[in-house]
Amino acid sequence: MIDNISLLTLAPILNVQLILDGLFIGAIFALAAYGLALVWGVMNVKNLAQGEFVIMGGYFAWYMGSLGIHPIFALPVAVIVMFGFGWIVYVVIISRVVGKDMFTSLLATFGLAIVIQQALNLAFGPEVQIAESGFGTGSFFDGNVTIAYIKLVSFAICCLLAILVVLFMKKSRMGQAIRATSQDARAAKVMGIDTEKVYAFTYGLNAAICGAAGVMISMIWVIQPFYGVPHSIRSFVIVVAAGLGNLPGVIAAALGLGVAEQYGGFVFGAELQQATVVGLLLVVLIWRQLQMRRQRQAVQ
């Protein structure tokens, strides 16, 4: 462990590699985390099936890749199909959970997560899969830093999607309705907004965003039916750290998490990369609690 740290100081160029990898992967985390923050903020549902939606999106890319179609074309397919899937899930399950106590939504979506994991496992088998993009790899700084071009492409797509989502939320009528509902669902209802439809749309939008994130994950990283849980935890870390309805915060926290995870994997060894994520979750929760304790004292 000490060796790895001293290696980082001796060869600073390695930091560049770690930071770049972290930023590329963090941009994808930001998408999934934004979806979680959206659902959480609008209908107060903690979606523990977030990571499973991501993995589902990834399997679209992988499946189309195995059919001989370039996986990047899976993006629109995944977005549309996942939107419909999210809508159906909302109508069948989530609509009955909205407004109940918070643990209910957590556990119901956990059950959903188990079902999705196992269905993917039955359909595609437990192997670790990767969607081959066929793009090359470029090396920089005398070959010390290597970047697969697909990571640049996915980073660009992430930025584009983020801009599209923001524009949608700001400009479109539905986006405005979603924001109004999240501010005050009752007032929105009085103003003639069909909140039930808004909720369904929000959940569908969340699933679609996750699906898009999954397409990218399958191209620059790996997917496997049971890899959804770490993604869910990442989304929670990011949202808890950034707070709800704080898009710049979500992006910053996601990029930070991506970088922190790369460093954790490098310093402690790859087998502890997941432990780093979970450890960060605990750190964020404790930090948040200390902050709240100070707040409570201030009130006293």
Q: Is 102 in the site for other proteins (CB under 8 A)?
A: yes
Segment near other proteins (CB under 8 A); pick from 55-63, 111-119, 130-138, 210-218: 111-119
**# binding residues, other proteins (CB under 8 A):** 43
Q: Is 113 in the site for other proteins (CB under 8 A)?
A: yes
Q: Measured from the CB atom, is 252 or 272 closer to other proteins? A: 272
Q: How far is the CB of 272 from other proteins (least distance, A)?
A: 6
Question: Which residue from 46, 28, 27, 29 is spatially nearest to 37, judged by alpha carbons?
Answer: 46
Q: Helices (DSSP H) in 139-243: which residue ranges?
A: 149-171, 173-183, 185-190, 195-220, 228-242
Segment near other proteins (CB under 8 A); pick from 12-20, 80-88, 108-116, 158-166: 108-116
CA-to-CA distance for 63 and 56, rounded, in angstroms?
11
Q: Measured from the CB atom, is 25 or 233 closer to other proteins? A: 233
Contact 231/51 with Cβ under 8 angstroms?
Answer: yes
Q: How far is the CB of 126 from other proteins (least distance, A)?
A: 12
Question: Which residue from 92, 78, 47, 86 is spatially nearest to 201, judged by alpha carbons?
Answer: 86
Among 156, 164, 191, 282, contact with other proteins (rule: CB under 8 A): 282
Exposed, middle or buried: residue 249 (CB in 10 Å: 0-12, 13-18, 19+)? middle
Question: Which residue from 53, 236, 78, 42 is spatially nearest to 161, judged by alpha carbons?
Answer: 78
Site for other proteins in 115-174 (CB under 8 A): 115, 117-119, 121-122
In total, the chain counts a number of residues equal to 300
Residues that bind other proteins (CB under 8 A): 46, 93, 96-97, 100-104, 106-108, 110-115, 117-119, 121-122, 229, 233, 236, 240, 269, 271-272, 274-275, 278-279, 281-282, 285-286, 288-290, 292-293
